[in-house]
Structures are given as C-alpha cells and as structure tokens.
Structure 1
Amino acid sequence: QVRHRQSGQIMVLKMNKLTSNRANMLREVQLMNRLSHPNILRFMGVCVHQGQLHALTEYINGGNLEQLLDSPVPLSWSMRVKLALDIARGLRYLHSKGIFHRDLTSKNCLVRCEANGYTAVVGDFGLAEKIPTYSEGSEKEPLAVVGSPPYWMAPEVLRGEIYNEKADVFAYGIILCETIARVPADPDYLPRTEDFGLDITTFRTMVAIDCPPAFLQLTFHCCSV
C-alpha cells in the first residue's frame, strides 16, 4: 500500500523483485492497461526502481472474498448473489476481450466495502492468457498447468488436457460453492469427486434450505461445463 505524494491517493504497489520475472510483469501491465470495467481491478500505472518494473493498482479496502466468507460478517442471500454477479460481470468482460484468467480464486476476487454493502472486483492477471483457438486438424498443444493451490482448477486442466475459458467457468463455480456454503475450496471441506469435479450430492447436504434454487443450479451448471 502506497500513497501518491502529490494527490494523496492510496494505491497498491505490486512488487516485482525477480529480474527473471520482468517479462511476465511487463505482459501483465500491458494486459491490465487494456482493461476497463467496474468489476476488474483498475490499473493505475507503473514505477521503475533499480531497473525493476512494478505495477500500481487501485486500493480495494475490504480484503478478498475468501477472507470475507471466512469472517463472522453476516451475508444475506441477496448480497451473496450480488457478489457472484459482480465476479461474473468482470469475467464476462475479460472473456469478451479474448483473455481468460487461468487463476480465478476467491483469493483473487477483491471486496470493496461500501455504505450499502460490498462490491467484488476480479484481480491478479499474472497468469492470464489469450483464449486459445483450436482449429480442426491442427496440432493441439495444451497450455501449462498454472495456479496454486489447485482447488479451483478444472478437471481438464489437472488432467493435462487442452483447455480454454471454460476452465474459468469451473473456477467460478467453485467460488459459488464457497459463497453459498461459506466453506473453503479445500477438498477437506468442499466435497469433490475422484475425477476432480464437484460432488453435487454431498454438497447439497451442506446448503441452507433457504438458498435460492436458481443460485444453486447455476453453481452446479458451472461445475459441470
């Protein structure tokens, strides 16, 4: 967290300490500079210190979604649906730009505290890539398996198969599970199948009876794409 000397504006400085990571930081900065959406973390600029490039982003005052869900703060169903919608809007915008996140987690969804509740913002684009197009008959080389930990990874990613933006949709489904049941994505808490999918039958038993049915069905759909 840093403050601009002249304007007094508070921003976040993403430090890049490794010389070997300079190309990745430059790529992330170039990507963020192209994005502008209320539910995407806003890029503010860069600074160079001792030859290293560091990114500046807006400061989000409420931590991340994982922290909010793990807190004792009460969240109505309407607020949980709103947070889910915020993330979906940010993700849809990202995909519309031909980019997929590849590391979408509740840790990377930041939460802005406002007078009337919360707004979710998608951040951390260090692993984002252009959405691949696999044409018929061409050699299909899968992208690398990235992201840590793997709790939000789609089954096809974990199996080392080719994957695309649908992997983001699966990760979003896991975030919905966390939001609905207020449990961590860790398989010790969130039931999973042997092929890395969501154990829908067991998860149903963890859901409050007043959960909006359409919200739950959306979750199952996202985890089944």
Structure 2
Amino acid sequence: MESMTPAKPTLWKQSSMAPERDHKAPDDLEGDNEDGGVSDIDPGFKLMYLANEGDVDSIKELLDFGTDVNFRDIDYRTALHVSACQGYGDVAKLLLENGADVDPKDRWGSTMAPMHVRNVREVPEYEIDPRELDFTNSIEITKGTYRIASWGGTQVAVKIFWEGTADEDKVRAFRDELSLLQKIRHPNVVQFLGAVTQSSPMMIVTEYLPKGDLHEYLKRKGALKPATALRFAMDIARGMNYLHEHKPEAIIHRDLEPSNILRDDSGNLKVADFGVSKLLKVANRVREDRPLTCQDTACRYVAPEVFRNEEYDTKVDVFSFALILQEVWNYT
C-alpha cells in the first residue's frame, strides 16, 4: 500500500475572520535542515509554528529563552490566536501565564471571543463586523441594557456583553439569548438583526423602537382610552402566544414587565429583552440551576415559583401578563 505523507500544518488559516486564500508554506517552515526541524527560523515565527503544533514543552523552552510571547506576524496574529484556533487550551494557558495579551486583534478584527470559530466558513450568517456599528453620540436605552447605534444608516439597538473580565455565567447568558433570538420572528416580538461573536465585546443587535417602552409611555401619557388598553393587551397576548406556541420548544420569557414591552412607530407593542428567557421542552417543566434574584430581573412581575426555585412552565408568563393588564387598565 502506498504510504501517505502527513499533511503539513498551516498557519495561514489561523483567524476566524480571515478570508480564504491559498498560501504555500513559507520556506522557513519547510524544514530545509537535515532533520526537517525548525531550529533555524526566527524565534517569533518558531513560536507561531510550535503553537500550531501544540508543542507545550518546546514553547516553554522558547519562552524561557526570552522569545516575545506577543510576537505578531504580517497579519498581526499572535501565538495565542493560533493556539485558540487549533483548540490547544494547554498552549493558550501557558502563553497567558507568560504575559500574552488576553484580547489581541488580528488584521480582520478577530480576537479571543468565547464564541470564536476555527474557520471562516464557520462564521455564522448573522455575524456583523463591529466596525460597521457607529456609536457616535450613542445613548443608553431600555434600563441601560441597550445602546443606540447606526448600522448602514439605520438606527439599531445594541446589547453589549463581555465588558471587562468575563465569567461562565456571562458566556452562557449570551449564548442562550442568541440561540433564542435566532428562532423568533413575529410582528409583536422585537426583531433580531445580527450579532458580534468573533471579537470582544460581543454584541446582540436588534431593531430600534424609538417610541420607548410601555412603562415610560404609561407614566407620560396618563389616562388611556379603553380601546387603546384593549389593543395593547392584544399586542402583548399575540407576542406571548407566539413564544409559548413555538415548536418544538416553547419559549418562557420570565421577565415580562412594562419596561420590556416596546412601542414601534405605529404605536403597536412588541415583547423584548430575552436575557433570562428559557426554552421549555415539550411536556416538561423548568427548574433553575441557579435561582433568579432581584438583581437579575424586577421582582414585582415575576411569578413566586420562579424565585422559590420550584418547577414551572409557561404559566409564569401568564402571571406577569395579568399584572401588566391590571396596570394598563388602571390608566383607563
């Protein structure tokens, strides 16, 4: 049987945002010396090569020799970029312990974001280049959770994650909310537009509704006509019914309150902010790994069983909906 030559590792693909292109391996890495090694190449490039190979011991030896751990190649990649793309956690840990920049950006803006992909083909279709988001004169909206930005000349709402030190809960919250928003499309639910997942800070981008939320509207408007109150009730009910009837898994909002219900240009209401929402598997109930606290959401509108860490289902949203209807009707 004809022997097969092992494929040579490639450094050129090591960015999640880099375009696909063909490169021949550089002469320095061809192994022109007798043993086919890389002992004669520049220490910085050697560090990149060893990171690509996952050779922890050789990397440690190279760093002990004084090689710059933050050496960058022509595309501004570092060894940390390479190790992350290859999935070598032990190499990344060693580099970080030796002073590697925790959030280096390469030519394409790729960083060490927690949803980082290994190949440009894996970048999700909804990915937005953060450079396309203009935060000039940006202001906070929706309880400070979102900021207004301009994207292609259109105002959008941007929820920003990953400011400062990240933790597992923040990453999980981002992934969960993003997963939910991709599944949702209804006239009475705020529309998901895209996300930034391949650089830090990560962001979720949704449509911007300039007329604000129901809570502020009720305070400002005062008395409502019964017909308006009824229309508001129907808008919220349609949005929540869509979420609860979603297949194959119902979506429990868990944070339904007037400040999370927004008004569009026509005065119609849309359910928003799915930061603490949950998928409910068919014929099952939900119980939290970590109970909600009043720091996670407003206490007034949340069903007691959620805070008591008991099993619950879509009825917890019905509880919140009933309180909102009562509040709206009080303004008639």
How does the TM-score come out when normalised to structure 2? Answer: 0.49
* Counterpart check, 1:105 vs 2:250: no
Q: 1-side partners of 2:286 and 2:320: how far apart?
A: 22
Contact 1:43 1:57 in 2 (8 A): yes
Shift of residue 86 of structure 1? 0.5
1:33 to 182, 200, 207: 182
Question: Structure 1 residues 134, 145: closer, same or farther in 2, change over 3 A?
Answer: farther
CA distance in 1, matches of 2:286, 2:301: 22
Distance of 1:47 and 1:179 partners within structure 2: 36
Aligned with residue 2 of structure 1, among 130, 149, 155: 149
Shift of 1:163: 1.1
1:49-60 to 2 correspondences below 5 Å: 50-60=199-209
Instruction: Write the mapping of 1:38-77 to structure 2, written as runs, cut at 5 A.
Output: 38-48=187-197, 50-77=199-226
Amino acid at match of 1:82: R
Question: Residue in 1 aligned with 2:38?
Answer: none
Contact 1:13–1:55 (8 Å) recurs in 2? yes
> Which whole-Å CA distance do the structure 1 matches of 2:286 and 2:251 have between them?
18
Q: Cα distance, 1:73 vs. partner?
A: 5.0
Larger radius of gyration: 2
Q: How many residues align?
A: 174
Provide runs of 4+ in structure 1 moved above 4 Å.
132-135
Which of 1 and 2 has higher RCO (CA within 8 Å, sep 6+)? 1
8 Å CA contact 2:286–2:313 kept in 1: the answer is: no
Per the alignment, in what secondary structure is the counterpart of residue 30 of structure 1? helix
Partner of 1:52, secondary structure, is coil
Aligned residues of 1:132 and 1:164 also touching (Cα < 8 A) = no
Aligned to 1:13: 158
SS at 2:242 equivalent: helix
The DSSP-based 3-state class of the residue aligned with 1:125 is: coil
Gaps of 5+ in 2: 1-147
Q: Distance in 2 between matches of 1:141 and 1:10?
A: 36
Cα shift at 1:112: 1.6
Q: Helix, strand or coil for the counterpart of 1:131?
A: strand
Q: 1:53 to 1:81 in 2, by over 3 A?
A: same
What SS does the aligned partner of 2:264 have? strand
Match status 1:24 vs 2:176: no
Cα deviation per residue 1:101-143 (whole Å; 9 max; x = unaligned)? Answer: 11111111111232xxx211001111111125666xxxx8732
Indicate how the Cα distance of structure 1 residues 40 and 72 shifts in structure 2: closer, same or farther if over 3 A, else same.
closer
Q: Is 1:119 matched with 2:268?
A: yes
Find the aligned partners of 1:106 and 1:52 in 2 and give their Cα distance.
28
SS at match of 2:162: coil
Q: Counterpart of 1:164?
A: 313
Alpha-carbon distance, 1:90 to partner:
0.5
Separation of aligned partners in 1, 2:259 and 2:230: 18
Q: Measure, in 2, the Cα distance between the counterparts of 1:141 and 1:34.
A: 19
Distance 1:104 1:56, change over 3 A: same
TM-score normalised by length of structure 1: 0.70
Alpha carbons of 1:52 and 1:181: their partners in 2 closer, same or farther (altered >3 Å)? same
Deviation at 1:48, TM superposition (A): 4.4
SS at match of 1:151: coil
Q: Distance in 1 between matches of 2:176 and 2:155?
A: 24
Identity of matched residues, %: 29
State the Cα RMSD in Å: 2.1
2:287 is the alignment partner of 1:142 = yes
- Which residue identity lines up with residue 260 of structure 2 in the other structure? N
Question: Matched residues in 2 for 1:93 and 1:44: separation?
Answer: 19
